[in-house]
Structure 1
């Protein structure tokens, strides 16, 4: 399975990069933006993690963007498996196309199975992420975003997430 997944992600990321970096100046009149991120991780006990978060935005002004972001993640190991879906609105304010501040409200649907104890949980949780970061132009009207967000609704003993702090890397086309 790993022999199939890793080359697949290399091809997908190469395809995304080639489409992202082509951005043309003639699209300046288009107010729609597209982007997102992909995550992949491996760990001990045959742990595997895959995450995708597509986003669609609309430029309200040259510096303010609002839209919808979704996320889906799969985690598995020898001891557990988990699937999580999330969706919600976001807003970003851009400063000189080098920095951004943003807010993102996500409502998550979580399905968790503990393989060792045969324990299953279906939960829902809402997260409000506030933060910002740095933007690097990668071609035309395309940018890579490096940032840090904090879930202000996170509570240590009642959340499915281990921390409220979330680093993020993503791509945006159309700014």
Structure 2
């Protein structure tokens, strides 16, 4: 009996949304406590959520992250990522891992970033001659720059470790929208 990944993915997304909502509610409850501990006053939480659907195609990404504001110019943090990609009848892929990020704001409107990302890629291909799997680690080192307004930054990043036709990224340049609360 084949397991249905949609059920597991739905459970994962519901769990993630409940945890995210719980963190938001708890953050409001602990507002009084955070004024006593200056560490938490400098922590910001953000991340990304990606959904892509098409003709027999599904792409779902969940990527939470957190940064610590060292001062008004420099921040450092960590992130997690999980992606599920499925082209019905062709391939399925689970991608998961983490990243380290450093942000520098030389002036209030400009943000420069360095991000080291390590992802595990587990892909299975279906073909007329049988199934093939491809499991590997994908390492990326992104250098980015963007325009910043309040807690939102819009920009582009470049993967200096990019090799054509290798890894999970189709292009070394990737636009981004970064939001931290």
Identify whether the pair has TM-score above 0.5, normalized to the shorter chain: yes
Selected match of 2:66 from 56, 61, 68: 56
SS of the residue 1:33 aligns to: strand
Provide the TM-score with structure 2 as the length reference.
0.74
Tell me the residue number matched to 2:3. none
Please list the CA deviations of residues 9-28 of structure 1 after superposition, one character each: whole Å capped at 9, or x if unmatched. 9xx5xx87xx5xx9x9x97x
SS of the residue 2:180 aligns to: strand
Partner Cα distance (1:36, 1:108) in 2: 16
SS of the residue 2:166 aligns to: coil
**Residue 69 (structure 1) shift:** 1.3
CA contact 1:88–1:107 (8 Å) conserved in 2: yes
Tell me the residue number matched to 1:125. 138
Provide the TM-score with structure 1 as the length reference.
0.76
Q: Where does structure 2 lack aligned partners over 5 or more consecutive residues? A: 1-5
The CA RMSD measured in Å over matched residues stands at: 3.1
Structure with greater Cα Rg: 2
If asked which structure has higher relative contact order (CA below 8 Å, sep 6+), I would say 1
More strand by share: 1
4+ long deviations beyond 3 Å: none
**Residue 167 (structure 1) shift:** 1.4
